[in-house]
Chains A and B, each alone.
Chain A
């Protein structure tokens, strides 16, 4: 088994193999929760925490778990961490927990969590597994925040509304009213807006990747033309 470099793991998780943009895993919570930035950030960070904890644990125990029972063991580890994190959020981030509701326990069913346990953490050392969990989780958070920002901006003309749910009363004034006297664009907040928004973001990523490939190809060609 080849051991990938840390920079490679980070680049894959955040961009090239991004859960939301490329693997398209965990779309149910992604589409449902991303109606504003704060909800997206909350679910993204909770998922990152679960990924980090489950990846490290799976990597630590990878020698002792038989292949026959590995899937039930992984599921159990993930379920326990999700439950523990849900209880902790209910205790310390009560209002945000109330808003995200069912989507916190549903992190258990996010395929990207067990996917990383099976495909990466069970084959690599704990440090690499931790970096991978962090990168994949932050990549997922990035998509949630971008999509949440897009929908919140188009839907109600604000950014960071209800920041106090996550950061306490001091954050009440963080809301940015981008468009004044904005009537709101309902489609962006409703479920179809989530699909359309995600589609547009994926298209944007593909355009950026294609442009980068063209630049690299042109750069590779130039010496031979000049020489």
Chain B
């Protein structure tokens, strides 16, 4: 065999050997950690959901009883939105959804919104955002009480025209130096409530034969 060719093959062989060993390390680590990671993610999600709809209010498996809905106009995102449905003794209790407010000051704001069966808000929380620290980040529950002000509100309290920040003639406070961020959050919550006014019945409906499949017509 030509010496150059042999050199090339040996070098390739060394690379292959290390690639295989490295991949094996990653595979083993992945298999060991994957169940723990999945359980962590489920628990973190459940902790978020339970903060708005406490565990004693429902008796179904909240993280499994979900719907995927795609409706860019209502939700502000092309991605399907996950809706979690809480029931107690088969009666609707609340709907929770992870929404996106696309018009934040620096990008999208991810929200978790919970609405009781009677149409009042059980609460709103911010899951993630890139707003300015010290100004727009007052939407976080840990930094100010602003986001807690949504609890108990509905489309009739205040009336739909009041679902704006005060600067735009509505009922909701803006922050000093940050109007765009609260405006985006109020808008996203209002859009979801309007969507629910029309679709709540369908969303809560459980198809009799397959409990966890989404009802027809919702998946657009």
Contacts and interface: CB of A to CB of B under 8 A. Distances in A.
Contacts, number: 65
Given A88-B33, A91-B36, A92-B36, A80 B15 contact: no
Q: How large is the interface on A (under 10, 10 to 19, 20 to 34, 35 or more residues)?
A: 20 to 34
27 contacts: A65-B14, A66-B10, A69-B11, A69-B14, A69-B15, A72-B15, A73-B15, A76-B15, A76-B18, A76-B19, A76-B22, A80-B22, A80-B26, A81-B25, A87-B26, A87-B29, A87-B34, A90-B40, A94-B40, A94-B44, A95-B44, A155-B133, A186-B132, A186-B134, A186-B135, A189-B133, A189-B134
B133 A186 contact: yes
A56 B33 CA distance: 24
Contacts of B11: 66, 68-69
B172 to A, nearest CB: 24
A182 B64 CA distance: 44
B37 interface: yes
6 smallest beta-carbon distances between A and B, as pairs: A80-B22, A91-B33, A91-B36, A94-B40, A84-B29, A186-B134
Given A64-B14, A66-B11, A184-B134, A84 B37 contact: no
B188 to A, nearest CB: 22
B107 to A, nearest CB: 15
A50 to B, nearest CB: 13
Given A80-B23, A94-B44, A189-B133, A87 B18 contact: no
Contacts of B36: 91-92
Interface in A159-198: 184, 186, 189-190
Q: How large is the interface on B (under 10, 10 to 19, 20 to 34, 35 or more residues)?
A: 20 to 34
A95 B43 CA distance: 11
Contacts of B29: 83-84, 87-88
A94 B39 CA distance: 10
A80 B18 CA distance: 10
A77 interface: yes
Nearest to A185: B134
Contacts of B32: 91
A11 interface: no
A79 interface: yes
